[in-house]
Amino acid sequence: MATSNESSRDQANESTGEAGYRPLTGTLRLKRGLAAMLEGGVVMDVVDADQAKVAEDAGAVAVMALERVPADIRRHGGVARMSDPAMIEAIKAAVTVPVMAKARIGHFAEAQVLEALGVDFIDESEVLTPADEAHHIDKWAFGVPFVCGATTLGEALRRISEGAALIRSKGEAGTGNIVEAVRHLRAITGDIRRLSVADPAERYEWAKRLPAPIDLVTEVAEAGALPVPLFCAGGIATPADAALVMQLGARSVFVGSGIFKSADPPRMARAIVEATTHHHDPALVAKVSRGLGEAMPGLEVSTLDTRLADRGW
Amino acid sequence: MQASGAKVGVLALQGSTRLHVLALAELGAEPVEVRRPVDLAGVDALIVPGGESTTLALLVDSSGLRPALEDRLAEGLPVLGTCAGMILCATEVLDGRADQAGLGAVDIDVRRNAFGRQRDSFEADLDIEGMPGGRFPAVFIRAPVVTRAGPDVEVLARLAEGPVLCRSGAVMVAAFHPELGGDLRLHQSFLERI
């Protein structure tokens, strides 16, 4: 189902190419390909060009341009929307690494604006206030790749069926508390493992229970992995947090408030980059964790008024 | 040496390491993930994958791999660099960060993000010199291009913007991603020359 939508886009691409040499753009392979190039890396939230430079200097594989980091969105309350295009453009001009930006869940017009601005990846994000309480963006309609959050395997596969090229476990953004990220990663990877050993006849019941399209359920069962990379987001505040989620099966990490709400952002950023790459080397994680100063202030999840991870359907 | 059974290191600091490891395993080589200088011992060849070249350059330095890589390169270690790997193998990097120094494994200058941003990323079928089996499905993602190739560098494929596949001695560099296209002929030809 998902694939046929994409191939119609590819065919449209090809037919425009008949008159002369014109390469294919915006294909599934290019979208998932960029996601694969970000593996083993750290995507950092930044609110201005200066922070973007700090992130790039520290070795970020990409930056996420947004007006307020999740910890501040949580504090501010109100409606959180797509960032000012001028701010996104300033960040694009400041760095050479890929630039991502967030659109509200279901807000395809914000996504159209971000695509027109030439951002490299769009995050359809629960950190912003949802615009549609039933539908996510039809991501097949875009040439730019999308990343979406998920708390379960079913949610991940529904986002992939809508065209997401990258999945991140949601965690609970802006808390500096890793517990929800661990819960979501374990839920997703645990179900992938169980599905991959299930009898083929049981896949139909899996599809009903998740719920998710049977062709994607079959694909995951046979490959033992999602058809797109799985990254981790939401609550990563230390190098050891990054090492933890990488060992739990994440292929990269998104760090939001954890860097620029810490005592020494350049050093914290660099330390999380090193710990992500060398997550199997505890001596190295110990070395980079030494003397970093205060991590961001943390929040107990049971005390939260708003649980961002509940947004998404 | 025969391709089958060759120990091929894949730089595993960041990027498409996993996809190169899968390609090598499918071709019967023995992939070895390289994160520290000690991992280079005993490898017959090395792949430098795609990824983010600024991140890779920084991690090559912090892991202590740069001097170890330079030593092995001087001994003639066969290397395949793809996209960011091409940038890392180059002599001079244009439009990179001021502190971004290539390994100088091949005498070329490259321009980063030469085709533009992700929306300009593209797939194209390439004519590759000496490659049997027809055109090669090449995947260019925020790709670099070669702006200068030294006298000893063979250009094996080019687009209007410049050379995109080069070889010099035991080192082959591609601006595109052979690990993404589902066609392993480029990996195969690299292994055959080890």
Measured in angstroms, the CA of B51 and the nearest CA of chain A are apart by 4
Contacts of B157 (CB under 8 A, 6+ apart): B126, B127, B128, B129, B136, B138, B163, B164, B165
Is the CB of B180 inside 8 Å of chain A's CB atoms?
yes
Q: What is the pLDDT of residue A75?
A: 87
How many whole angstroms separate alpha carbon A243 and alpha carbon B130?
A: 44
Phi and psi based region of residue A45 (left: phi greater than 0; alpha: psi -120 to 50; beta: remaining): beta
Q: What is the pLDDT of residue B102?
A: 85
- Per the CB < 8 A criterion, the answer to whether A45 and A82 are in contact is no
CA of B179: which chain A residue's CA is closest?
Answer: A33
How many whole angstroms separate alpha carbon B148 and alpha carbon B106?
A: 11
- Per the CB < 8 A criterion, the answer to whether B90 and B102 are in contact is yes
Give backbone dihedrals phi and psi of B67, rounded to 5 degrees, phi first: -60, -35
What ipTM was reported for this prediction?
0.96
Q: What is the pLDDT of residue A22?
A: 61
Give backbone dihedrals phi and psi of A42, rounded to 5 degrees, phi first: -125, 125
Give backbone dihedrals phi and psi of A119, rounded to 5 degrees, phi first: -65, 155
Angle at the Cα of A72 from the Cα atoms of A152 and A285, rounded to 5 degrees: 65
Q: With contacts defined as CB-CB under 8 Å, which chain B residues touch A39?
A: 14-18, 51
Which pLDDT band, with edges at 50, 70 and 90, does B35 fall under? very high
Is the CB of B127 inside 8 Å of chain A's CB atoms?
no
Is the CB of B14 inside 8 Å of chain A's CB atoms?
yes
Give backbone dihedrals phi and psi of A267, rounded to 5 degrees, phi first: -70, -40
User: Which candidate in A102, A139, A170, A261 is catalytic?
Assistant: A102
Q: With contacts defined as CB-CB under 8 Å, which chain A residues touch B23?
A: none
From the list B12, B16, B119, which residue is nearest A143 (CB)? B119
Q: With contacts defined as CB-CB under 8 Å, which chain A residues touch B111?
A: none
* Spatial CA neighbour of A106 closest among A127, A131, A80: A131
Residue A81, burial from CB neighbour count under 10 angstroms (0-12, 13-18, 19+): middle
Q: Which amino acid is at B154?
A: E
- In three-state secondary structure terms, A148 is strand
* Whole-angstrom Cα Rg for chain A: 19
- Per the CB < 8 A criterion, the answer to whether B147 and B110 are in contact is yes
Q: What is the pLDDT of residue A2?
A: 40
Is the CB of B83 inside 8 Å of chain A's CB atoms?
yes
Q: What is the mean pLDDT of residues B30-59?
A: 96
Q: What is the pLDDT of residue A305?
A: 85
Is the CB of B117 inside 8 Å of chain A's CB atoms?
yes
Q: With contacts defined as CB-CB under 8 Å, which chain B residues touch A97?
A: 52, 54-55
Q: Which amino acid is at A12?
A: A
Q: What is the pLDDT of residue A21?
A: 53
Q: What is the pLDDT of residue B139?
A: 97
The segments of chain A whose pLDDT lies below 70 read 1-22
- In three-state secondary structure terms, B32 is strand
- Per the CB < 8 A criterion, the answer to whether B96 and B153 are in contact is no
> Residue A282 corresponds to which tokens in the numbers above?
């505890």
Domains of chain B: residue spans and CATH = 7-192 (3.40.50.880)
Least reliable range by pLDDT among A12-16, A258-262, B115-119, B157-161: A12-16
Contacts of B86 (CB under 8 A, 6+ apart): B110, B144, B146, B173, B174, B175
From the list B12, B95, B119, which residue is nearest A118 (CB)? B119
From the list B18, B121, B181, which residue is nearest A39 (CB)? B18
Q: With contacts defined as CB-CB under 8 Å, which chain B residues touch A11?
A: none
Residue A98, burial from CB neighbour count under 10 angstroms (0-12, 13-18, 19+): buried
Q: Would the CA dihedral through B7, B11, B12, B15 be positive or negative?
A: negative
The mean of the pLDDT values for chain B is: 94
Interface of B with A in 140-159 (CB under 8 A): 140-142
pLDDT in tens, A223-278: 999 999 999 999 999 999 999 999 999 999 999 899 999 999 999 999 999 999 99
- Residue A232 to residues A186, B73, B112, Cα–Cα distance (Å): 11, 36, 28
Q: What is the pLDDT of residue A1?
A: 38
> Residue A284 corresponds to which tokens in the numbers above?
């190295």
Q: What is the pLDDT of residue A76?
A: 87
What are the DSSP E strand ranges found in chain A?
42-46, 62-65, 99-104, 121-125, 146-150, 166-169, 230-232, 253-255
Q: Mark yes or no for CB contact B142/A33 under 8 Å.
A: no
Catalytic residue flag (residue B83): yes
Measured in angstroms, the CA of B105 and the nearest CA of chain A are apart by 22
**pLDDT > 90: percent of chain B:** 92
Catalytic residue flag (residue A208): no
- Per the CB < 8 A criterion, the answer to whether A258 and A296 are in contact is yes
